[in-house]
Amino acid sequence: MPSTSQSGEVPARSKRADAQRNQQTLLAAAAAVFVTSGVDAPIREIAGKAGVGVGTIYRHFPTRADLVVAVYRHQVEACAEAGPSLLESAASPLAALRQWVDLFVDFLVTKHGLANALQSDGGGFDALHTYFLDRLVPVCGHLLDAAAGAGEIRPGTRPYELMRGVGNLCAGRDSDPRYDPRRLVDLLLRGLEGPRPS
């Protein structure tokens, strides 16, 4: 419980930390809803998942585009931070790469509605895309290097190339609910491993 001053007020630093945690919880809930229901999901669904009122969401994010952009940035940061953590905790570098790609697929599913949510703000979309590449390409590269260094995959796969390939495999999900991009992404990752020794 945050400490209070003699006047009964919670110190500003604690308020900021609480507000930051609350916003992260809200963004994580919105991301989960966007993955299952798309970026056009009702705000009340997001509010219910986050355990807050609809007004709380609008107070933080006055427009749907504000919310979608915040979720996008939140997911980019989560993917970027997950790379090193997964390398430390996973059974192998390849296992870390696979887990990271799975997070990346969740992110891509959310990202597909971003352009529509931003409508005609092409400049805003371009800036977010640059931010996405700057944050995630090095993380993917580090995971690929670790897996290649451990002899688990063939060397030479470039991170942008892999991310682009995964992105292209995820693109068909919106138009066909029978399409499961994760199955094909798994086949792509198996292809990186090369032939198994006999």
Hey, what domains does the chain have and what are their CATH numbers? 11-62 (1.10.10.60), 63-193 (1.10.357.10)
Which pTM value belongs to this model?
A: 0.77
Q: Per mean pLDDT, which range of 17-26, 42-51, 130-139 is the poorest?
A: 17-26
Which amino acid does the sequence have at 90? A
Q: Model confidence over 164-197: pLDDT tens digits?
A: 999 888 876 666 778 888 899 999 999 999 666 5
pLDDT band of residue 62 (cuts 50, 70, 90) is: very high
- What rounded mean pLDDT belongs to the chain? 83
List of residues 6+ apart from 89 with CB closer than 8 A: 96
Residue with tokens 């007004």: 55
The answer, yes or no, to whether residue 121 has pLDDT greater than 60, is no
Tally DSSP H helices, then E strands, for the chain.
Answer: 9, 0
Q: How many CA atoms lie within 13 A of 190 on its CB side?
A: 7
| Mean pLDDT score, 3-18 | 58
Which of 101, 92, 103, 102 lies closest to 152 in space, CA to CA?
92
Confidence at residue 117, expressed as pLDDT on a 0 to 100 scale: 61
Q: How many residues does the chain have?
A: 198
Q: Give the span between the Cα atoms of 71 and 92, in whole angstroms.
A: 30
Q: Give the span between the Cα atoms of 135 and 142, in whole angstroms.
A: 12
